[in-house]
Structure formats: C-alpha cells, structure tokens
Structure 1
Amino acid sequence: MDFNFTEEQDMVRDGLSRMVREQYGPEERRQLIASDAGWSKAIWGQLAELGILGMSFSEEDGGFGGGAIDSMVIMEEFGKGLVVEPFVPTVVCAGGFLKHAGTAAQKEEHIGGIVSGERVFAFAYAEPRGRYDLANIETTAKKDGGDYVLNGHKAVVIGAPWASHLVVTARTGGERTDAQGISVFVVDKSADGIVTRDYATVDGRRASEVYFENVRVPADALIGEEGNALPLIERVTDEAIAAQCAEACGAMKVAHAMTLDYAKQRKQFGVPIASFQVLQHRMVDMYTEYECSVSMTYLATLRLDADERTRKEAVSAAKVRVAQAAHHVGQEAIQIHGGNGMTDEYAIGHYFKRLTIFDSEFGNIDHHMKRHIALAS
C-alpha cells in the first residue's frame, strides 16, 4: 500500500505548517482564546484564501478535488498548533452532509460560501440524554404545510457561537431511540425561535447549548431523505472522527517534542533529567503511542469509502487506540514537566487539555470499544 502523499498535499502541508508556526504560537493562541470572539475571522479568511476550506470538495462542487486524505493532512497541522477555528464542524461535517446527500440547489447555495469562508457551520447533534447514541434524539421536526417546525435542545454544539448556520438532526417520526424517523436539516442560526447559551470549553474552544422553540424551516432545508438519515449521520460522524484522530496525532507529536526538549533543559542533581533512564523509557513510550496512532489514523481514513461495516470497524478501532494514546501522551507530558505543566503559561498544559477532551467527542473509548466488538462478533 502506498502511503506517500501527492506533491499537492505536501505543498498544502508545508504552507499550512508555516502559517500555524508564524501565526498560531502559544502566546498568540492564548490571547486569541481569551478574547471576546475566541477565534480569528482573519485566520479563517486566510484559510479560505489558501484553499484550505475547499481542498476536500470536488471540482464540480466548487472545490479543489480532494477528499478525506486532504482533511487528514490539514487536521494534523491544526493539531500541532491547537487551532480552534471550526474546520471540522464546517468543512468535514456540514460539507460532508452536503457532498453525500445535498441537492444541486443546496450545494450551490452553501458549498461556495464554505469554500470562501463566508459561511460557518456547527453540527447540532448531541442531546443531554443522548449518551453518544446518534439515534437517541428527542428534538422534533414536525411537518406544517410546506415547512417543518423544530423543537428541542442540542447540547455542547462546538463552534455554534461563531456559526451562521446549523446542521441539525431531528426526529420526524418514531420513538426516541428508533433508528428510523431521523432527518437532517440546514438551519439559519438567526431564525426566529433559536436561543443559544454560549460558553468556553476546557480546551479553549467555544460551544453553545442551542434551544429550538417552534423554529420554522422550509422543506428544502431537509438534507437527504426524510426519516432515513441515520446511515448518513453515521458516515459523516465517522469522517469527523478520522479527522479528529489526525488532529490528535499532530497534538501528540508536539507534546512529545516539548517534553523531550524540557527534559533536556531541566536539571536535577546537576544533570538534565533526560539522562535518567526511567524518563527515557517513558518518552520512548510516548513516541511509540504517537506512531501507533498515526498508523491507525491512516487506516481509518483510507477506509472511509469502504463498505459500512469495514468503515465503522476501522474508525472505532482508531478512535479507541488514538484516544488511549492521547490520554497516555498528555498525562506523561504533564508528569515529566512537573508542576510547571499545569500552569497556563506553559503550552504543554493546553495540549494536555485538548488531548484529554478528544476522548469525549463523537463517542468515547467505551462507546467505540462496544461498537467495534458488536461489529466484529
């Protein structure tokens, strides 16, 4: 199997890596996440100008003909800088729904705005009682004439404070946990009846609790077939998991490098702590965890276009392995840094927070372990 990247992908990686190093250093990021906005529209605009937001869309849809591999390359570089701009909610999630099931009119209306950076999306799928089950939906969308009327509550909607539009999962039929009766809608966040409560997350991003109170959306806001959207939702979330695995790999690589550099400088008993064999072993273990995570991420990304069962098995295996590695690398980095690692001034603490939170997004280790076992049995 050929794991070499194309010349174009290498160019994207080099350009994005340079941009992240120059504009997303630890101090710049610290100031950014502490600002009222919590993100940079200027950086989002630069990503659009560089073609980053359009890399994974086909040329027919107004993009540059890439796919999941391109998103993987991009997300790994974002992970190295702990970039908070909403690439996954906007490009991977909203873009995924539009690519796989959007009508020609929906693609024309939204994808151009995503590629240009003018439209920002958030994926409103999680609910307070959902427990990682994508079919556990209480938000309803009831047909009323030529419209749908949405009511419900979506929890921890990442990037929602910055979004112009939401992609919302809602129940158009069936009972709370039924696989059938689930639909997906594109909703303008400024629509009447939408109420949000915005807050900062532990890892420096922004999220919202989103409440829908008789929110009326037109019938053409429906993506895909009414009542049969669960397989589509599972496919898009699997693509998001693969992208975030790449992000975690980038963060782990930097966390390991920071820890190694610190150990070479920090002295005890008159010598650098990097000379202590027990710490050498621990740092080698960190690097091994990172390399295993890269391999699992590559495998999951390459299997996103396989049959449903193969895709799910690969993605769940990757999520379990990468999340375990992220916990290990983050905790070891903090341990070796000592008390300094927990201070806001040291960048390693920010990497620890992001690597820790990674486990809880789109299903944690236990959830994906159970899914993988069920598929393999």
Structure 2
Amino acid sequence: MPFTPTPEQQEFATAVREFARRECGTRERRQDLTSGGAGPHSPELYAKLAALGWLGVCLPEEYGGGGGGMTEACLFLEECSLGQIPAGGFVTSVITAKAYERFGSEAQRKTAVGGAVSGQVLSIAMSEPEAGSDVAALRCAAVRGEDGGWTVDGHKTWISNAHLASHILLVARTSSTGSKHEGLTMFHLPADTPGVEIRGIETMGGREVNDVYLTDVKLPADAVVGEVGEGWSQLMAGLNAERLFLAANMLGLTRRIFEDTVAYVRTREQFGRPVGSFQALRHRLADLATELECARLLVFDTAAACDAEPERLFPREASMAKLKTTELAKQAALEGMQMMGGYGYATEYDMERYLRTAVVSTVYGGTSEIQRDIIGKTYGL
C-alpha cells in the first residue's frame, strides 16, 4: 500500500515546510545564515529547531525527545532538505544519538541524547586514512591502563561535523587479536578533551568534514559505550538508521532540484516559447518525476518496516534506499544543470551547489559500490 502520512505526520511536515519558508525562504537569507554559504549549518537556526522540539523527533521522551519513529525522522529530513534549512549538524547528531540510545549507559544517554535534543551537535569518528570503505581496518588504538582508564592515539579523517560537535562517538581498536572485525570499541569522547585536535578539510561543499588527531588522549573507564570489543556489531546495528536518514536527506534534495528545474524551464524562453515545452526537456522531467516517486516510496516503505520491527535489521532495504536516492540526486542535479544551460553552472543560481551536495552523497555513509555489494550479499551472492 502506498505510503500515506497520518494527519499528525502531515501536520508536522507542513510545520517544517512553513518554518523553512519563514526562516530561510530566500537565497539571501540562507547566505546570511551560513556566512555566505561557507558551510551547511547555521547555529542560529539550529537553536530555533531545538526550541521547537524537532531535533529530538525520533529520540526517547525521557531524554526530552519527541518519541517518534523512523518515519517522523525521515519526514523531518526530507522537509529540511526540500526547504534548504541549513541544519547540517542534524544527520550526524541523530545517527550518533541513536547509537547512544541503544548502547550507552544512563549517564551517557542523558549527556549525548539529551544534548542532541537541546541543540548540541554530535559526531561519529570511524574513518581513517587507510580505513574508509574497509572501516574494520582501522588502527586508532585505545590501550587500557592499570586504573581501568584508556589512552587513545590515532588519526581519524573525513569526520563530519567534528568542528561543531560537543561530543564525538569514537571507534577505536582495543585488541588486535582475532579478525579485523573483532576488538573494536566505542568511546564517549568530549570534543574538548586534552589531546584532541580537529582540523578542517576544505571541500567543494565548504567546511563539513575534518581530520581528528588524538595524541595521548586520556579517557576514564566509563567512557566505553556498550561493551569492550563489541564495536563492530554495535555499528552494524545502527546502519538501518544511518543509511535511511541519509536517503531521506537526499530525497528532499532531489525534490528541491526537481521543483527548481521545473520552475526554470517554465519561464525561460527560447525560439519564442518556454524551453520546458520542448519534448526533449519534457520527457527528461517526466522520467525524473517517475524516479522521484519510486524513491520516495522506497524510503518511506523502509522507514515503516523499521518502525514496525525496531529490533530487526533491514540491510537490503536500507542500502537500496541509500543507493537509489543518492544516485538519483546526482542524476537530477546533472539534468537540472543541463536544462538550465550556463545558468546551471553559475553561482547566481543554486543548481551548482545542489550538484556539489549530491555528488558527495554517493560517497559518504558507504559508497554506492558498497551499497550494491551489501544488496548483492543479501541474495547470497
């Protein structure tokens, strides 16, 4: 049965859409909020989202959240991207908070989950220079001392929003025996801990990702999140949320790209008529509209399945959703740029920024190649 939001869900989505129109509905306003587009996050607007209670939409009520599910989170992410709300810290924050919700101690949940609800940004540090898609090959080491505490040394890279984060969920190696998937442990790391150095990596998208250097970082025994040596299985348990949240984010971007492209080709005239009236462009847009509808059904069908069985993993469906939406966002941005001609390439319009955002989405959170590999393995291949 096609996804149909409940009246409450529809009311929520409409409220987010109205917020976007009111608070950042013009390009000039978005530029002001992000220091001229230097990054995708506005602390000013993020604080307003927190005050409305929306940042905790899918987090437990006992920590100040809204108690909703994956469907509500996906609706929020879709509308944020559609409305171009500069809340770039939300995705990593909610992904990280869900890991704390599942595996953290009560004190860690109060700090991290409660912090995410109140507007603090969270980050998760897995990737390393030699451990990207093969994240289990990480070498950042945490050594236990005689007092039960830990000393951490290593280098993490491509860490989204670490420069904004109050806390980082760090994945480190606590044992080198057994397979590479064994001996990984999650740690609760306050970003201002002595020995932590965060350096930004300049990208086409502005300031989003970072190198994180850890030098003789001291953590107490109770910094472990979950169980020592169980970091890999704990990571796998959170992949439904990560991939689905990224998919919903790109679904909203694709809708934004499509709507902007349609608006442009309706008004841009060549040869005495709107360029959208030419069959070549009309058919392209018809194909994109069809693919967009398919992608939305896939995302929300997967979200509904996760809500119905929250303890079950949906690796095939979550990877399909991430693969479909990110590749479609990239395709839509390229099509939009082509249909806008030179204006699609000009910074005067948003299309070139959409393309930069869409292209990297097929890399982070597991590349498209990794998603295809996961899907294939679910068929025993």
Relative to the length of structure 2, the TM-score reads 0.92
Q: Distance in 1 between matches of 2:346 and 2:32?
A: 15
- Residues 214-253 of structure 1: pairs in structure 2 closer than 5 A: 214-253=216-255
The 8 Å contact of residues 266 and 273 in structure 1, kept in 2 or not, is answered as yes
- Residues 78-89 of structure 1: pairs in structure 2 closer than 5 A: 78-82=80-84, 83-89=86-92
Measured after TM superposition, the shift of residue 137 of structure 1 is 1.2
Q: Distance in 1 between matches of 2:13 and 2:347?
A: 29
Measured after TM superposition, the shift of residue 19 of structure 1 is 1.3
CA displacement 1:184-203 (0-9 Å, x = unmatched):
11101111111111144323
CA displacement 1:281-340 (0-9 Å, x = unmatched):
001111112111112211332333658885111111122222221221111011001111
Give the letter for the 2:346 counterpart.
Answer: T
Q: Which moved more, 1:9-18 or 1:206-215?
A: 9-18
Q: Distance in 2 between matches of 1:3 and 1:347?
A: 30
Q: What RMSD over aligned residues (CA atoms) do the two structures have, in Å?
A: 2.1
The 8 Å contact of residues 166 and 186 in structure 1, kept in 2 or not, is answered as yes
Aligned residues: 375
Give the letter for the 2:267 counterpart.
Answer: Q
Aligned match of 2:22: 22
Aligned match of 2:372: 369
Give the % identical residues.
Answer: 29
Aligned match of 2:333: 330
Which of 289, 303, 306 matches 2:305? 303
- Residues 267-286 of structure 1: pairs in structure 2 closer than 5 A: 267-286=269-288
Measured after TM superposition, the shift of residue 177 of structure 1 is 6.6
Measured after TM superposition, the shift of residue 46 of structure 1 is 0.6
Which of 335, 360, 363 matches 1:360? 363
Which of 317, 322, 327 matches 1:319? 322
Aligned match of 1:289: 291
* Structure 2 unaligned blocks of 5 or more: none
Measured after TM superposition, the shift of residue 175 of structure 1 is 5.8
Tell me, what secondary structure is at the counterpart of 1:154?
strand
Q: Which moved more, 1:262-271 or 1:19-28?
A: 19-28
Q: Distance in 1 between matches of 2:351 and 2:36?
A: 20
Q: Distance in 1 between matches of 2:226 and 2:73?
A: 23
Aligned match of 1:192: 194
Aligned match of 1:342: 345
The 8 Å contact of residues 152 and 213 in structure 1, kept in 2 or not, is answered as yes
Tell me, what secondary structure is at the counterpart of 2:163?
helix
Q: Which moved more, 1:169-178 or 1:28-37?
A: 28-37
Q: Distance in 2 between matches of 1:262 and 1:286?
A: 15
Q: Distance in 2 between matches of 1:308 and 1:152?
A: 33
Q: Distance in 1 between matches of 2:31 and 2:295?
A: 27
* Structure 1 unaligned blocks of 5 or more: none
Tell me, what secondary structure is at the counterpart of 1:19?
helix
Aligned match of 1:116: 118
CA displacement 1:325-368 (0-9 Å, x = unmatched):
12211110110011111111101222222111111111111111
The 8 Å contact of residues 237 and 362 in structure 1, kept in 2 or not, is answered as no
Tell me, what secondary structure is at the counterpart of 1:142?
strand
Which of 96, 100, 109 matches 2:98? 96
Measured after TM superposition, the shift of residue 280 of structure 1 is 0.4
Tell me, what secondary structure is at the counterpart of 2:135?
coil
Distance 1:171 1:164, change over 3 A: same
Distance 1:140 1:84, change over 3 A: same
Measured after TM superposition, the shift of residue 99 of structure 1 is 1.0
The 8 Å contact of residues 296 and 322 in structure 1, kept in 2 or not, is answered as no
Give the letter for the 2:28 counterpart.
Answer: E
Q: Distance in 1 between matches of 2:109 and 2:186?
A: 15
Tell me, what secondary structure is at the counterpart of 2:314?
helix
Distance 1:234 1:310, change over 3 A: closer
Measured after TM superposition, the shift of residue 259 of structure 1 is 0.8
Q: Distance in 1 between matches of 2:198 and 2:186?
A: 19
CA displacement 1:136-164 (0-9 Å, x = unmatched):
21111111122111111111111111111
Distance 1:240 1:23, change over 3 A: same
